[in-house]
Amino acid sequence: MPELPEVERVRRMLLPALQGARFTRVTLNRADLRRPFPKRFTRRLVGQTVSALTRRGKYLLATLSSGDVLLMHLGMSGWFRVEPTSDRARRRDRDAALERRHDHVVFVMSSGMTVTYSDPRRFGVMDLVAPDDGTERSALGRMGPEPLSRAFDAAALAARCAGRRVSLKVALLDQHVVAGVGNIYASEALHRARLSPFRLAPTIATRSRRPRPAAVRLAAAIKQVLRRAIAAKESRRYRGGGFRVYDRAGEPCPNTGCRGTVERVWQAGRSTFYCPLCQK
């Protein structure tokens, strides 16, 4: 599933096509994704201008001139394709039709670009949130701090882990603890911080909810792995190269001075990759 770095790369890719541009035509090729599209979806979009394209955790948020917010989540296999509208109109051959079989939403923009949402597994979400709809907005507001923001540091991490009787790895997957971190980068950050994924989350905080040294290392590691991932020139495959432990079971631990071997275990139904020798 796409995590914060993948979603941030998508946001940056979409910026030239969407921000400041007007929806001139919107086509839905099906009635739903993970859930049905909202009523009057196309009518509420056409003619509106995208004033800002931002990200909150794993969500993309397009603020419209109407005040509505187009909320988009990539699910497990969603992706956007951006191409000049004139080029797309000429692609009528068989191969192009085959490629478009998973294209579910098409935005034709006044920027001269067509933005197509493709999702083979259809676990993505698109919703329109009205200015007076507090439900979705409050749900986003209850998410944890953005890990690359100033609001996220060792103190914030320790305070949100205190009192949670779950493992440190499971706590990092909770979007109320920190927004946007998923399975891949939780494993990567824990390895960089040399912390066991099985360690109880409250152990990185004191009784007064202040950060212990483990929280300082982990907060710094989270920021580091996310920044490196965003900057990396990866392909469109979410599981690109460059990971230290993720998907590297059986390989030597890359931490300096460690002679351990990366192992894979299951935690809360997800794969965890870690070094049992140096992650304590």
Q: Into how many domains does the chain fold?
A: 2
Whether 136 is catalytic is no
Residues 98 and 164 in one domain: no
Least confident stretch, 9-13, 52-56, 83-87: 83-87
Same structural domain, 9 and 126: yes
Range of the domain at 211: 154-274
Q: How much is the average pLDDT of 147-152? A: 97
Residues 86 and 191 in one domain: no
Categorize the per-residue pLDDT at 237 as very low, low, confident or very high, splitting at 50, 70 and 90: very low
Q: Which residues contact 196 (CB under 8 A, 6 or more apart)?
A: 168, 190, 274, 279, 280
Q: Is 280 a member of any domain? A: no
- Calculate mean pLDDT across residues 166-189: 97
Query: Could you tell me how many residues make up the chain?
Result: 280
Q: How much is the pLDDT for 136?
A: 66
The residue type of 217 is: R
Q: At a CB cut-off of 8 Å and minimum separation 6, what does 146 contact?
A: 56, 57, 152, 179, 180
- Do residues 266 and 280 lie in contact, with contact meaning Cβ atoms separated by under 8 Å? no
Residue 22 is assigned to a structural domain of this protein: yes
110 shares its domain with 28 = yes
The verdict on 129 and 160 lying in the same domain is no
Q: Is residue 179 part of a domain?
A: yes
Write down the catalytic residue from 55, 58, 169, 217: 58
- 165 shares a domain with 124: no
136 and 10 part of one domain:
yes
* C-alpha to C-alpha distance for 179 and 164, rounded to whole angstroms: 16
SS3 75: coil
Is pLDDT larger for residue 94 or for residue 150?
Answer: 150
Query: Is 128 in the same domain as 217?
Result: no
Domain harbouring 41, CATH code: 3.20.190.10
User: What does the pLDDT average to over 164-171?
Assistant: 97
What is the predicted pLDDT for the residue at 252? 98
Residue 275 · residue 187 · CB < 8 Å: no
Q: Which of 3, 6, 8, 188 is an active site residue?
A: 3
Compute CA 101 distance to the chain's CA centroid, rounded to the nearest angstrom.
24
270 is an active site residue:
yes
CA-to-CA dists, residue 143 to 38, 84, 214, angstroms: 23, 36, 23
pLDDT grade for 99, boundaries at 50, 70 and 90: low
Q: Which amino acid is at 122?
A: R
- My answer on whether 162 and 137 are in the same domain is no
For residue 171, is it within any domain? Answer: yes
Q: Is the pLDDT assigned to residue 236 strictly greater than 50? A: no
Place of tokens 């792995």: 225
Q: What is the CATH classification number for the domain harbouring 250?
A: 1.10.8.50
> DSSP code of 115?
E
Residues 270, 224 share a domain: yes
Residue 238 confidence class, pLDDT cut points 50, 70, 90? very low
Give the phi and the psi of residue 150 in degrees, each rounded to 5.
-65, -20
Q: Which of 120, 141, 162 is the endpoint of a domain?
A: 141
Domain finish residue from 86, 106, 141: 141
Q: Supply 40's token pair.
A: 């009057």
**Does residue 148 fall inside a structural domain?**
no
Are 262 and 212 in a shared domain? Answer: yes
- pTM (2 decimals)? 0.89
For residue 50, tell me if it sits in a domain. yes
Q: What is the pLDDT of residues 191-211, one digit of tens each?
A: 999 999 999 999 999 999 999
**Is 84 a catalytic site residue?**
no
Which residue, 79, 81, 16, is CA-closest to 50? 16
Residue with tokens 């912390």: 195
Average pLDDT over residues 49-68: 97
User: Is pLDDT above 60 for 234?
Assistant: no
88 has pLDDT over 80: no
Domain membership of residue 279 (yes or no) is no
Catalytic annotation present for 8? no
135 within domain boundaries: yes
Select which of 100, 137, 270, 276 is catalytic.
Answer: 270
Same domain for 252 and 200: yes
Cα separation, 252 vs 144, whole angstroms: 34
